[in-house]
Structure 1
Amino acid sequence: MRLLHVDASPKGANSNSRALSRFFVDQLRAHIPSLSIDYLDLASEVLPPITELFTGATYTPEAERTPEMRDALTASDALCRRLLDAEALLFAMPMHNWTMPAAFKGFVDAIVRGGLTYVPTEDGRFVGMLGGRKTLFVTTRGVDLRPGTPFAAMDALTPALRAAFGFIGVANPAFVDAQPLQFARETERADALTRAKEELAALAEYWGNIEPRVMLSQAS
């Protein structure tokens, strides 16, 4: 399995989302020893900002792009290729102000690309090109946003991720959300991390169990 693993927290070694994503990778490798990882740290590999030149280039047919346009798209082209080359996707991030951190929003803006990660059809539809990839979002939240809690209606992160990645073909992503972590008692934080690790361990086992069947299907 080729896994693209993306971390987006700016907190470095103090990041819970990074720790949880590493935990999942370790669990997954125990089930799939041949696991291959393409790792991207959006805090250290800062993406170029979306500019007027970039935007114009994305809407210009490839054959008509100037050298400056092609240069502006270089980083985005490479990111799209890494996504398309992956068999599974792991994205880890904290919730910032109810939605995704700025670094990950920049990543999304770079990888939702017409002609690469989605293709318009003659009948006006859009077909995402990332279908069939196992996808996991690991998120950490300062407060508890589970259904029935006072802040449940303020979760703008989950629907934003579902919409953006659904558009490019990710139909049924898994979510493991550790909450509450920041504005909570120590026992609540510990319970949140325990729940998340249990979910991640179960998901790693599930991915590991279906991997041999996928490989057998591809070989037949």
Structure 2
Amino acid sequence: MKLFHVDASAKRETSNSRALARFFIGNLRAQGVEVEVDYLDVTVDTPRHVDLEFAVATYRAESERTPAMKARLAASDALCKRLFEADAFLFAMPMYNWSMPSVFKAFIDNITRTDLTYRKNAHGQYVGQFSRQKTLFVTTRGADLRPGNPFSSMDALTPALKASFSFIGVVEPRFVDAQPLQFADQEARAAALVRAQEELVEVAAEWAAWEQARLAADVLEAA
């Protein structure tokens, strides 16, 4: 399995989202999955934010782009290529002020590309191009935003991620959310991390079964 793994926490070594992502990959390998990781830390290699040149170039037909336009889109093209080559996506991030880190939003802006990661079909409908990849979002939240809690209505992260990635074709993404962390006592914080780890073990087992079935199908097709 080729896994495209993106980390987006500014905390680096002390990040819980990064630790949980590593925990998940370790469990995948423990399930017998051969994992090849294509890794991107968007806090280090941050995609350029959208500017006028990008906005103009991305909506210009490829055959009509100037050398300058092609140069402006080159890094975005390379990011999209990495996603197309992956079998699965792992995106790990904290919630910052109810939504995603700005560096991850820049990543989304660079991979949402007309006539590349989404296309218009013969019926005029937009069709995302990443329907074959498994997708997991690992998020950490300072407060408890689960249903029934006072801040549950303030989760802008989950719907934004669902909408963004659904548009480029991701089907039924999985979410594992560790919460509450920052605004919790030590007992609640520890319990949140344990819950997340238990969910990640379950997701790893599901992905291992999916990978086994995918490889078996490849063998049958090649026979």
Tell me the TM-score normalized by structure 2.
0.97
Q: Which one-letter code corresponds to 1:104 in the other structure?
A: F
For 1:32 and 1:72, the matched residues in 2 are separated by 41
Matched, 1:52 2:52: yes
Partners of 2:130 and 2:169 within 8 A in 1: yes
Q: How many residues align?
A: 220
| Paired position in structure 1 for 2:79 | 79
Matched, 1:140 2:140: yes
Matched, 1:30 2:30: yes
| Paired position in structure 2 for 1:162 | 162
| Paired position in structure 1 for 2:9 | 9
User: Relative to structure 2, which stretch is displaced further, 94-103 or 115-124?
Assistant: 115-124
| Paired position in structure 2 for 1:124 | 124
Two-structure CA RMSD over aligned residues (Å): 0.9
For 1:187 and 1:176, the matched residues in 2 are separated by 19
Q: Which one-letter code corresponds to 2:9 in the other structure?
A: S
Matched, 1:98 2:85: no
Partners of 2:76 and 2:111 within 8 A in 1: yes
User: Relative to structure 2, which stretch is displaced further, 208-217 or 73-82?
Assistant: 208-217
Instruction: Report the 3-state secondary structure (helix = DSSP H, G, I; strand = E; otherwise coil) of the residue aligned with 1:44.
Output: coil
How far off is 1:33 after superposition? 4.3
Instruction: Report the 3-state secondary structure (helix = DSSP H, G, I; strand = E; otherwise coil) of the residue aligned with 1:208.
Output: helix
Structure 2 alignment gaps of length 5 or more: none
How far off is 1:21 after superposition? 0.4
Instruction: Report the 3-state secondary structure (helix = DSSP H, G, I; strand = E; otherwise coil) of the residue aligned with 1:73.
Output: helix
How far off is 1:100 after superposition? 0.7
Percent same amino acid among aligned pairs?
55
For 2:209 and 2:161, the matched residues in 1 are separated by 26
Q: Which one-letter code corresponds to 2:138 in the other structure?
A: V
How far off is 1:124 after superposition? 1.7
Q: Which one-letter code corresponds to 2:160 in the other structure?
A: A
Partners of 2:46 and 2:107 within 8 A in 1: no
